[in-house]
Structure 1
Amino acid sequence: MKPASVSAPAPTPGRTPRSMRRMVGIGALLLFLAVLLTPTVRGYLSQRSQINQAQAQVDAQEQDIAAKQSQLKQWNDPKYVEQQAESRLGFVKPGQTLTVTVDKNGQARQSAGTDVVAAKPTQPWYDQLWSSVQGAATRK
């Protein structure tokens, strides 16, 4: 007969205490890294958001500057200045008369004609005013 041999105990199903210690150690390390990196990542994302907002503001200001430069170029053109003085302020050149028409909605529209107007009044302003008042009184 053969002598009885001593055999190793059969492996038990499940984890051994050594592998459980490794898993706990790895889990603790991952938790430590998460706690360590979370504020850093949050700060990075916050700063990226601020940078994007600042860049959008810079882009809007650059567009505003371009629009204002374009408008400045228009105001350097004497014909544009004349047109604006006529339409906004009602100015006309000597020798022209200004005609203001009002449409049904009450909107005034100005147009400059080429009727000849005396360059110098023949009467002082107060005489012109008085004659205008007298003329208005007699037109009733």
Structure 2
Amino acid sequence: MARERTTRQPAGPGRTVRRPRSPKSAVSASEAPTQKLVTAKPRRRPIAPRFRDIGFTRRALVLVGVVAILALSYANSLRIMINQQRDLATANAQIAGRSAQIAELDAQLQRWRDPAYVKSQARTQLGWVMPGETGYRVIGLDGKVVTEDGASSTISTTATTDQIRWWERLSSSVQAADALPPKG
């Protein structure tokens, strides 16, 4: 007993309309074992072989593209951040160096405020002596003053009392200019 089927709309692209079977064409399974029912399969667009072999879907490709775009945008931000950290480290190093230099200059200023340090520096660097003391200098073979550590100094080897003061030299040069030239 064959049931009559109603016609339907196609379920998708490429599908055909099914028509109801007529009672004449209804054949029992025992009468026609070799006859096959042919059903129309929906046609799909074939996927390109390169994507079928890899196993990527369109969603996966879109996801990879979005991740790549995000990575590029974050890479630029990361580069900027690394440059700023490097600049900050350089600035901190400069600040630390200058702070150490300031501390050293402050310590030196405190030493120079001490009268005993000033006296000792006047003795060693300038060769000065206190009133009533006798100063001695050792002169090396090269004619320069030898200091305590054995190095030569640029201190003048003549005593300050032996030098003529500048105004005395000036007055003597004026007197020499006023004098008459010698005859002869």
Taking structure 1 as the reference length, what is the TM-score of the superposition? 0.62
- Read off the aligned partner of 2:96 and give its amino acid letter: D
**Paired residue secondary structure (1:84):** helix
Aligned counterpart, 1:97 = 134
Aligned counterpart, 2:89 = 52
* 1:90–1:54 CA distance, 2 compared to 1 (3 A): same
The number of aligned residues is 108
* 1:92–1:75 CA distance, 2 compared to 1 (3 A): same
Higher relative contact order (CA 8 A, sep 6+): 1
**Paired residue secondary structure (2:137):** strand
| C-alpha distance after superposition, 1:23-57 (max 9, x if no partner) | 10111111110121121111000000000000000
What is the CA–CA distance in structure 2 between the aligned matches of 1:103 and 1:24, rounded to whole Å? 88
Taking structure 2 as the reference length, what is the TM-score of the superposition? 0.48
What is the CA–CA distance in structure 1 between the aligned matches of 2:142 and 2:94, rounded to whole Å? 41
Question: In the alignment, is the contact (CA less than 8 A) between 1:98 and 1:110 conserved in 2?
Answer: no
Question: In the alignment, is the contact (CA less than 8 A) between 1:90 and 1:110 conserved in 2?
Answer: no
2:79 to 20, 42, 55: 42
C-alpha displacement of 1:108 = 2.1
The structure that is helix-richer by fraction is 1
Aligned counterpart, 1:108 = 145
Aligned counterpart, 2:113 = 76
Question: In the alignment, is the contact (CA less than 8 A) between 1:102 and 1:109 conserved in 2?
Answer: yes
**Paired residue secondary structure (1:98):** coil
What is the CA–CA distance in structure 1 between the aligned matches of 2:86 and 2:77, rounded to whole Å? 14
Question: In the alignment, is the contact (CA less than 8 A) between 1:74 and 1:80 conserved in 2?
Answer: yes
Question: Can you give the 5+ residue segments of structure 1 that lack an aligned partner in the other structure?
Answer: 5-13, 112-120, 127-140
RMSD across aligned positions (CA): 3.6
What is the CA–CA distance in structure 1 between the aligned matches of 2:143 and 2:74, rounded to whole Å? 69
C-alpha displacement of 1:105 = 7.1
C-alpha displacement of 1:73 = 1.2
Question: In the alignment, is the contact (CA less than 8 A) between 1:75 and 1:81 conserved in 2?
Answer: yes
C-alpha displacement of 1:110 = 5.8
What is the CA–CA distance in structure 2 between the aligned matches of 1:67 and 1:19, rounded to whole Å? 68
